[in-house]
Amino acid sequence: MKLKIFTIVVSMLVANSLLLGQKTIEVFGGGSYNYLFDGGDLSNHYMSEYKNGNGFVLGGAIEEIKTDWIKWRFTLHYEKYNGAFKISDGSLGGGYTNEATFDKSIIALGLYPLNIKVTKNLLINFGIIISRMINENIKGVSYRWVMNKGLWSYPIDNSKRYSNRGMIGFQTRLAYQIKLSENFALLPQYHFYYGVSSEFKITPTKAMRHYFNIGISKTINTKKEL
C-alpha cells in the first residue's frame, strides 16, 4: 500500500512538472556490496552471524523537478543482491536457529528532496528509497527445540516467502559530473543505502548497501513556447 501511494504521488508530481522548464534525465548502473546487521530490541541470548554479499543495480532518474521552492530528483531502479545469515535465540525452555543463503530482486523508487551542487561538478543528493521485493531465492534450515519435546527441523526454501515484501530506507548519492558536450555528461557516482525496515520476516536483519555506479545524463528543455 505504501509503495502504491508513493508511486501515485511521484507520478503526479513528475507529470505536472514536465510541462515546463529544464530537466535532466539519467540512466545508471553498477555493482553493490550488501552489508547485513541486526536491528531492533534483541534478547540476551540472541546471536547472529552474517555473510555479506554483492549485487548489481540498473536504473534511471529525472531531476530538477520543481515544486514550490524544492528541486526534486526521482529514481526508479531494478536491483539484485545476495547474502547469508545464521540467527539463534532462546531460553532455558527452548529456542531456535535459522540459517540460510539468499538472493533477492527488488524494484525501488527514490525520492530526493535535498540536492546540493557542492562545486561546478560535484553533486550530493539525500533521499528516501521505497522498494518492493519481486523475487526471492532462499535455501536453508530452521532448527527448533523445546524442553521435554526434543529437537526438530524444517527446510527454509522457496515454498514460502521469508522476505518482507516492502522496505524503506535512506540513501545518499555522491556524483562527479564530467561534461561530454553541452547536454550530455558522464557521472561516476557512489550511493550509500541505510535500511530502516527488516529484510526478513523471521529475523531482525537490516541492510546497508554501498553502490559504485556509472551514469550518463542528458539535459532537456521542455518549456512550451506560447
Q: What is the pLDDT of residues 195-213, one digit of tens each?
A: 999 999 988 899 999 999 9
Q: Does 44 fall in a domain?
A: yes
Q: Does 143 fall in a domain?
A: yes
Identify the helix (H) or strand (E) that includes residue 98. strand 94-117
In this prediction, what percent of the chain has a pLDDT beyond 70?
88
Q: Does 78 fall in a domain?
A: yes
Q: Does 226 fall in a domain?
A: no
Predicted confidence at residue 69, as pLDDT, reads 79
Predicted confidence at residue 144, as pLDDT, reads 93
Q: Does 205 fall in a domain?
A: yes
DSSP codes, 17-61: HTTSSEEEEEEEEEEEEEEEEE-S---TT-EEEEE-EEEEEEEEE
Q: Calculate the average pLDDT of the chain.
A: 88
Parallel, antiparallel, or unpaired: how do β-strands 122-146 and 150-156 relate? Answer: antiparallel
The domain tally of the chain equals 1
Residue 9 has pLDDT above 90, yes or no: no
Residue 77 has pLDDT above 50, yes or no: yes
Name, in order, each residue with C-beta under 8 angstroms of 82's C-beta and a sequence gap of 6 or more.
Answer: 34, 53, 54, 55, 101, 102, 103, 104
Q: Does 197 fall in a domain?
A: yes
Predicted confidence at residue 226, as pLDDT, reads 43
Q: Does 198 fall in a domain?
A: yes
Residue 16 has pLDDT above 70, yes or no: no
Phi, psi dihedrals of residue 40, rounded to the nearest 5°: 90, -175
Burial of 150 (0-12, 13-18, 19+ CB in 10 A): exposed
Instruction: Write out pLDDT tens, residues 89-136.
Output: 988 789 999 999 999 999 999 999 999 999 999 999 999 999 999 999
Domain span at 46: 2-221
Q: Tell me what the mean pLDDT of segment 149-157 comes to.
A: 91
Q: Tell me what the mean pLDDT of segment 26-40 comes to.
A: 94
